A and B are shown apart, each in its own frame.
Chain A
Amino acid sequence: SQQGEEDPQALSIQEGENATMNCSYKTSINNLQWYRQNSGRGLVHLILIRSNEREKHSGRLRVTLDTSKKSSSLLITASRAADTASYFCATDLYGSSNTGKLIFGQGTTLQVKP
């Protein structure tokens, strides 16, 4: 089964509202990363949180990590129509750093209505 599972699969909100996406994983990690994908395009890295960190901010993004629950959340505050995209979490598994492999979740599709 997937290392990273995301919830919800799809989310639709109004512009200005906050959007929260969750990611759960199964095994120990070095770090957890969030990526964004606009329709039909490649993925773009948003933010990385290490296993010894609990919260991280970048602009309107806030990421939390709970290693005891093996879960992470991505919060986008004051959403804009331009935030409409798919969002993926990816885990860098403990012991795999040399290879650079990431395990991606299935993604959350976010629609922000103007």
Chain B
Amino acid sequence: DVKVTQSSRYLVKRTGEKVFLECVQDMDHENMFWYRQDPGLGLRLIYFSYDVKMKEKGDIPEGYSVSREKKERFSLILESASTNQTSMYLCASRSGQAGRQETQYFGPGTRLLVL
């Protein structure tokens, strides 16, 4: 059974703290994604990665960075957390190989509160 796990379900941090959100997938997928989800705005793509050490900005990368040192792990970093980064963060992965499934598999989400 495919699995995407996220390091925390709930997280409370203070303004200015550095925050790490970790995502691990066990499907040997090439592509991994970080989204944030806010009421009325749907899912917005922050960053994605199509290979180890490769990354591309999504629609809302400001205030975030990412790291992909190993194929199975994709980390989202908030260098200096701000209250407007309070949100639900969702990680997803997908095979990048032609002919493989084109669906994305999601983790359970991390609800981050920045005080």
Contacts and interface: CB of A to CB of B under 8 A. Distances in A.
B48 A43 contact: no
B105 A45 contact: yes
Contacts of A40: 88, 109, 111
Interface residues of B, number: 30
A101 B48 contact: yes
Contact of B42 (A41, A98, A104): A104
Contacts of A105: 42
6 contacts: A40-B88, A48-B103, A104-B35, A104-B42, A106-B40, A106-B42
Contacts of A100: 30-31, 33, 48, 50, 94-96, 102, 104
Interface in B23-51: 30-31, 33, 35, 40-43, 45, 48, 50
Interface in A1-44: 2, 30-31, 33, 35, 40-44
B4 interface: yes
Nearest to B91: A42
A33 B41 contact: no
Interface of A: 2, 30-31, 33, 35, 40-45, 48, 88, 90, 92, 97-102, 104-107
B103 A45 contact: yes
A100 B95 CA distance: 8
B61 interface: no
B43 A104 contact: yes
B79 interface: no
